[in-house]
């Protein structure tokens, strides 16, 4: 009798194939069936924010630079709302597919692996982030908050923070035992980034140590790049932000794969 | 002789200290319907999860169509059709979209998928339902769709985990009819069930699992003959009367007696039979019937309810 290894080693390079794209297609099909319900939040939230904060509150705000407040927050919103969308997709969305609909079980019964599923889910989260970037770009342009045609490059670049937030959120999802446990992640990680990543006020207003902490928050790097693009002032330093996000995405993607194997391959 | 399309050799599955599958060996021949029976928690689902390459093997050898499950899971999964116990259809997709999404996991091109979807819808009598939402389907329709989905890749082996659990009698009979049809078409089928009737109707060969071990194996009819005999007489009798009946039965050739709560089970073997009127009991307290697989099952796995499972 030959004896094999007790179980598939969890720490090994992701076994991903083009079937990850099939998972993405499945999510796209569902989205195309229910987009009417899915369009409201990504569209209405930024719109209200632009009106309430950009125009309403904006009149009372004096910025250190010559800029209207709506112009100041627009690039930040391009980062902040898609962050919510991507994290929500691999948060509540993936959890629901995994636990309630057992969609992951159905998929891994085919030639697809759990690694393909994880990859497809994250690719879809990034796609959703880009879709919401389109809405916000249109809204921001309508509010006169876009100064440069370079702003159009936010769209392809937004895929990267989409992957990043999708990966980070899926890591948490892979460990969550119930839907309510997902709330911790959103309350403790996503919401603080929404308010404290330089979206609504320049981080330079805050004490030095807070700025140091802010450097470690993923959203800050997306905000910095978008500010440059929307204002037409791209710097070499933005490459550093891109590199930062690539590294973080890679790390959390691998953790998500290992954690999902641990949870589902039993 | 061909080695068999599924070959398990000393197959073991452990979860920590718990041994779910305890060194079992069996072979499934090409084209046969093979049943895995057993009470809940016996290791049926774990066994087929290992065969489906979704649960890693702890020890032993397991090959499907000549490929080891540890080495070529993707290629094995490409020739399997899996029908899980729990429905995991996509509720946000229509019947047809469910099949299309599934066909893509097998890298089926759109035009071939379209034809194949039409075929499986037809086969499972779902053509008229193809635009329906999943929520609108009854349990029986959902199960037929899940079977249709399992057939999308023209699998060499169809793996069914309790295919009719939770269905009403009509739906169950229709599923059986469809599965027999597939059997006639030469599809190898591996199914788990705890419905003995289902195993007797569908399976060419069965194994009975109990606490992770195979406790009996063979052709269902032959197993009934071997373990339960030809007829079973159930006698409702208690107290002093029971003692009297038992005395009468002592030393009767070809009759085995089992006492269960308020009932006596008499397993009658051989051609001579047993004349029940000799016991002098009221007719309504005596039921005489043909032995079936359920008798085998209960005899072998015990009549007590399995605790903690």
Q: How far is CA B195 from CA A50, A149, B165, in A?
A: 62, 68, 8
Q: Which of B15, B58, B88 is closest, CB to CB, to A103?
A: B88
Q: Which of B15, B70, B78 is closest, CB to CB, to A111?
A: B78
The pLDDT of residue A2 is 40
Give the distance from residue A190's alpha carbon to the nearest chain B alpha carbon, in angstroms: 28
The pLDDT of residue B284 is 85
B70 to chain A: which residues are within 8 Å by CB? 4-5
SS (H, E, C) chain A: CCCCCCCCCCCCCCCCCCHHHHHHHHHHHHHHHHHHHHCHHHHHHHHHHHHHHHHHHHHHCCCCCCCCHHHHHHHHHHHHHHHHHHHHHHHHHHHHHHHHCCHHHHHHCCCCCHHHHHHHHHHHHHHHHHHHHHHHHHHHHHCCCCCCHHHHHHHHHCHHHHHHHHHHHHHHHHHCCCHHHHHHHHHHHHHHHHHHCCCCCCHHHCCHHHHHHHHCCHHHHHHHHHHHHHHCCCCCHHHHHHHHHHHHHHHHHHHHHHHHHHHHCC
pLDDT higher than 50, residue B33: yes
Instruction: Using alpha carbons, select from A11, A224, A238, A249 the residue that is nearest to residue A123.
Output: A249
Residue A210 belongs to a domain: yes
The pLDDT of residue A222 is 96
Report how far residue B307's alpha carbon sits from residue A42's, in angstroms, rounded to the nearest whole number: 51
Mutate to test the interface with B, among A110, A114, A116, A263 (most CBs of B within 10 A): A110
Mean pLDDT, rounded, for B54-80:
97
Q: Give chain A's largest Cα–Cα span.
A: 79
What is the value of pTM for the model shown? 0.91
Residue A193 belongs to a domain: yes
Give me the residue label for tokens 């059997």: B183
Is pLDDT larger for residue B118 or for residue B256?
B118
A178 touches chain B (CB under 8 A): no
Residue A234 belongs to a domain: yes
A19 touches chain B (CB under 8 A): yes
Domain that holds residue A236: 19-264
Residue A79 belongs to a domain: yes
The pLDDT of residue B304 is 60
A12 touches chain B (CB under 8 A): no
Report how far residue B114's alpha carbon sits from residue A30's, in angstroms, rounded to the nearest whole number: 19
Which tens digits make up the pLDDT trace of A24-71?
A: 999 999 999 999 888 888 899 999 999 999 889 988 888 877 889 999
CB A182 within 8 A of CB A171: no
A33 to chain B: which residues are within 8 Å by CB? 92-94, 97
A110 vs B57: CB contact, 8 Å cut-off?
Answer: no
Q: Which of B58, B86, B93 is closest, CB to CB, to A29?
A: B93
A6 vs B58: CB contact, 8 Å cut-off?
Answer: yes
Which tens digits make up the pLDDT trace of B13-27?
A: 999 999 999 999 999
Residue A247 belongs to a domain: yes
Residue A226 belongs to a domain: yes
A107 touches chain B (CB under 8 A): yes
The pLDDT of residue B30 is 96
Handedness of CA A185, A84, A55, A223 (dihedral sign): positive
Confidence of residue B226 (pLDDT cuts 50, 70, 90): confident
Residue A127 belongs to a domain: yes
Mean pLDDT, rounded, for B95-102:
98
Per-residue pLDDT of chain A (266 residues; tens, 9 = 90+): 344 444 455 678 899 999 999 999 999 999 999 998 888 888 999 999 999 998 899 888 888 778 899 999 999 999 999 999 999 999 999 999 999 999 999 999 999 999 999 999 999 999 999 999 999 999 999 999 998 999 999 999 999 999 999 999 999 999 999 999 999 999 999 999 998 889 998 888 889 898 888 889 999 999 999 999 998 899 999 999 999 999 999 999 999 999 999 999 98
Domain count, chain A: 1
Which tens digits make up the pLDDT trace of B248-303?
A: 888 788 888 888 888 889 888 876 777 877 777 888 889 988 888 888 888 888 76
Residue of A nearest to B84 (CA): A106
The pLDDT of residue A9 is 55
B10 to chain A: which residues are within 8 Å by CB? 1
B57 to chain A: which residues are within 8 Å by CB? 4
Average pLDDT, chain B: 91
B93 vs A109: CB contact, 8 Å cut-off?
Answer: no
Report how far residue A124's alpha carbon sits from residue A118's, in angstroms, rounded to the nearest whole number: 10
Give the distance from residue B168's alpha carbon to the nearest chain A alpha carbon, in angstroms: 23
Beta bridge partners of B215: none
A251 touches chain B (CB under 8 A): no
Residue A104 belongs to a domain: yes
Residue B23 token pair: 């060194």
What is the phi/psi pair of residue B157, to 5°? -130, 130
Report how far residue B88's alpha carbon sits from residue A107's, in angstroms, rounded to the nearest whole number: 9
The pLDDT of residue A7 is 47
CB B179 within 8 A of CB B171: no
The pLDDT of residue A3 is 40
Mutate to test the interface with A, among B20, B25, B51, B54 (most CBs of A within 10 A): B54
Which tens digits make up the pLDDT trace of B77-87?
A: 999 999 998 88
The residues of B whose Cβ lies within 8 A of any Cβ of A are: 9-10, 14-15, 52, 54-61, 70, 73-75, 77-78, 80, 82, 84, 86-94, 97, 100-102, 104-107, 153
B90 vs A26: CB contact, 8 Å cut-off?
Answer: yes
Residue of A nearest to B10 (CA): A1
Rg, chain A, Cα only: 20
The pLDDT of residue B301 is 81
A265 vs B54: CB contact, 8 Å cut-off?
Answer: yes
B88 vs A3: CB contact, 8 Å cut-off?
Answer: no
């Amino acid at each position: 009798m030959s004896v094999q290894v007790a179980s598939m080693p969890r720490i090994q390079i992701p076994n991903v194939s083009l079937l990850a794209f099939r998972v993405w297609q499945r999510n796209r099909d569902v989205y195309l069936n229910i987009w009417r319900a899915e369009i409201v939040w990504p569209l209405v939230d930024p719109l209200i924010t632009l009106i309430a904060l950009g125009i309403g509150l904006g009149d009372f705000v004096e910025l250190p630079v010559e800029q209207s407040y709506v112009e100041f927050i627009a690039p930040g919103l391009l980062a902040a709302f898609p962050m919510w969308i991507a994290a929500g997709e691999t948060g509540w969305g993936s959890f629901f597919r995994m636990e309630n609909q057992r969609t992951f079980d159905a998929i891994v019964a085919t030639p697809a692996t759990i690694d393909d599923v994880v990859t497809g889910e994250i690719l879809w989260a990034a796609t959703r982030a880009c879709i919401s970037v389109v809405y916000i770009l249109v809204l921001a342009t309508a509010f006169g908050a876009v100064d440069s045609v370079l702003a159009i490059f936010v769209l392809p670049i937004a895929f990267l923070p989409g992957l990043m937030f999708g990966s980070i959120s899926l890591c948490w999802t892979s460990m969550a035992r119930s839907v309510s446990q997902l709330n911790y992640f959103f309350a403790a990680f996503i919401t603080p980034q929404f308010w404290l990543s330089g979206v609504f006020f320049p981080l330079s207003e805050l004490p030095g140590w807070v700025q140091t902490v802010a450097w470690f928050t993923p959203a800050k790097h997306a905000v910095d790049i978008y500010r440059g693009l929307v204002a037409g002032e791209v710097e070499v330093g933005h490459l550093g932000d891109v590199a930062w996000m690539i590294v973080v995405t890679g790390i959390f993607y691998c953790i998500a794969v290992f954690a999902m194997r641990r949870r589902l391959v039993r | 002789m061909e080695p068999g399309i599924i070959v398990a050799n000393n197959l073991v599955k452990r979860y920590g200290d718990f041994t779910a599958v305890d060194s079992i060996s069996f072979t499934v021949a090409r084209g046969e319907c093979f049943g895995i029976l057993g009470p809940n928690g016996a290791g049926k689902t774990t066994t087929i999860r290992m065969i489906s390459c979704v649960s890693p093997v702890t020890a032993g050898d397991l090959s499907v169509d000549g490929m080891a499950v540890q080495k070529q899971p993707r290629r094995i999964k490409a020739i399997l059709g899996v029908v899980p116990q729990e429905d995991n259809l996509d509720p946000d997709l229509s019947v047809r979209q469910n099949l299309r999404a599934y066909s893509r996991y097998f890298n089926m091109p759109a035009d071939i998928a379209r034809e194949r979807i039409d075929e499986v819808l037809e086969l499972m009598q779902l053509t008229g339902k193809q635009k329906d939402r999943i929520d609108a389907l009854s349990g029986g329709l959902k199960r037929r769709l899940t079977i249709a989905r399992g057939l999308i890749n023209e699998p060499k082996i169809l793996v069914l985990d309790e295919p009719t659990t939770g269905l009403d009698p009509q739906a169950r009979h229709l599923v059986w009819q469809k599965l027999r049809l597939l059997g006639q078409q030469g599809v190898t089928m591996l199914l788990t069930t705890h419905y003995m009737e289902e195993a007797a109707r569908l399976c060419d060969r069965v194994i009975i699992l109990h606490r992770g071990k195979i406790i009996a194996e063979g052709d269902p009819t032959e197993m009934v003959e071997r373990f339960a005999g030809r007829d079973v007489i159930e006698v409702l009798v208690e107290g002093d009367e029971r003692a009297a009946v038992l005395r009468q039965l002592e030393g009767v050739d070809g009759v085995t007696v089992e006492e269960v709560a308020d009932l006596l089970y008499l397993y009658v073997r051989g051609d001579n039979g047993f004349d029940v009127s000799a016991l002098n009991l009221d007719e309504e307290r005596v039921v005489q019937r043909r032995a079936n697989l359920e008798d085998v099952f209960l005899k072998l796995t015990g009549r007590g309810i399995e605790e903690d499972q």
